[in-house]
A and B are shown apart, each in its own frame.
Chain A
Amino acid sequence: MSALPVPSRRQEDWRYSDIEAVASVWPLPEPTAITVGEGEEAAHLLLQDAADGSVAVHDYVIDVAAGGNCIFHLLNIGGKLGRVTFRVTLGKGAHFGLHGAMIGGGTQTLEIITSVTHAEPDGTSEQVIRSILGEKAVGSYLGRIEVARHAQKTDASQSVKAMLLDRTATANAKPELEIYADDVKCAHGCAVGELDKQALFYMASRGMEPRAAQSLLLRAFVAGVFDGIADEEDRQRFESAALAKLDALAHRGDAGGEGA
């Protein structure tokens, strides 16, 4: 059990969090440990769709030994706070892949926080995060990558894109690189945008209703994140949960707010 005091927003990893919600479940349980042995392959999934108003915090500590491969698929959509963190350490030639999506509305706070340490040479990591945020939701991705001094030929990438459906929603995306080796590739791209107005008019000009057009564009935006889930049933479970959440978001404002 954690004996630490409840964190504050002054701590970088908690900067955008919902501290009140965290305090309500403090102390947090021990993180889930995942160990991938030498040359082994592992695939993990988390569909975080906790009930409305609840608090869901999932912490993972992942160690991937030399030549190992760990792929994690994450859909983060539930609770008033949905926070998923990863502390990953990669051995020689090991790989970590995180494919995640966050979809939030209302006053939800959703977070994906990663810290990937390339401790040995030749390791690779790939993180692809897509967020769709409406109403007053806050979606944050904080991604730290550390490359140890002798971890040459490290290849790390982060691709983070967020789509804001309302001016009142917030997306935070913060990559942080600490590189002590000199022969590495670290690529990161962040983009926060809105639905493409030209595309929306083009679709309307063909007769598509605004809501249908928006839904197609949003589906396209998160499409591909779950392509790598090997089990067909799991993949469909993730995709239909994402679609259901998108549909719920598309119907936001039906009760008398702004239209689509």
Chain B
Amino acid sequence: MSLLNIENLSNAIGDKAILKGLSLSINAGEIHAIMGPNGAGKSTLAYTLGGRPGYDVTGGSVEFDGKDLLELEPHERAAAGLFLGFQYPVEIPGVSNLQFLRESLNNQRKARGQEALSGGEFIRLAKEKAGLLSLDMEMLKRPVNVGFSGGEKKRNEMVQMGILDPKLAILDETDSGLDIDALRVVGHGINSIMRKPDKAVLLITHYQRLLDYVQPDFVHVLAAGRIVKSGGPELALELEREGYAHIVEAEGASA
């Protein structure tokens, strides 16, 4: 059974239609990559699945782990096992990372009927995941993303993912703003946290380079609000070689 099943999804921001009948199915144990030109709707897809206010669904359905995802509030989606990695992680002055994450994790656990983690248990977990992403524990004591470099913000996203331990991670341009070393660390983090038989990842990216570290099982091309082509990892290499225009045009006739 698929973990995520998107059927014919359409949405609008204000009165502008962005997604126009997008379908995609992801099974547990799989890593999918969505690539596509600017303005294709990649980030819109991520935000819509996350339930961001203002991203109104106008048609279609999304089933996640047996639940109607679109019926759930954003925090309920997280508790159901969805994680959204932000392209631009938000800064929250005055709230420490640890406080933010502990509150988030324990809210999720409460929603699932699990007991809250104690302070000690939580710190051990946070240390382990920060270590995995080579992020200094001191950074986790600082306010959320405030004064973090672009690379630190992205590593922090992955530490959060590690701590929250989702079933499905949708990572929106997690590779943007990373240098080569940070890219390797983040790629390794994604693999060790998410490459498991009961989990899945949807990588949204412009470039092939992250896919060198996190090998996708499937690659999809998103253009003008729908998936216009799907294939294996070789499709990403073809895109890198030939550019989007070539493939979008070739598939455009049917769109």
Contacts and interface: CB of A to CB of B under 8 A. Distances in A.
B92 A206 contact: no
Interface stretch (B8-16, B63-71, B96-104, B246-254): B96-104
Nearest to A204: B74
A206 B90 contact: no
Pairs A-B, 7 closest by C-beta atoms? A220-B94, A207-B78, A207-B108, A204-B74, A206-B104, A202-B90, A204-B75
A132 to B, nearest CB: 13
Interface of A: 196-199, 201-210, 212, 216-217, 219-221, 223-224
Interface of B: 50-53, 73-75, 77-79, 83-84, 86, 89-90, 92-95, 99-101, 103-105, 107-108, 111, 143, 160, 164
Contact of B95 (A207, A216, A224): A216
B53 A217 contact: no
20 contacts: A197-B53, A199-B90, A199-B92, A201-B90, A205-B51, A205-B74, A206-B101, A206-B164, A207-B104, A208-B103, A208-B104, A208-B107, A209-B75, A210-B75, A216-B99, A216-B100, A216-B103, A217-B95, A220-B92, A223-B94
Contacts of A220: 92-95, 143
A201 B92 contact: no
Contacts of B105: 207
Contacts of B74: 201, 204-205
Contact of A205 (B78, B95, B103): B78
A212 B107 contact: yes
Given A202-B90, A207-B75, A207-B78, A212 B103 contact: yes
Q: Which of A206, A207, A209, A210 has the most CB of B within 10 A?
A: A207
Nearest to B112: A207
Given A220-B92, A220-B93, A206 B160 contact: yes
A203 B100 CA distance: 8
B94 A207 contact: no
A198 B164 CA distance: 20
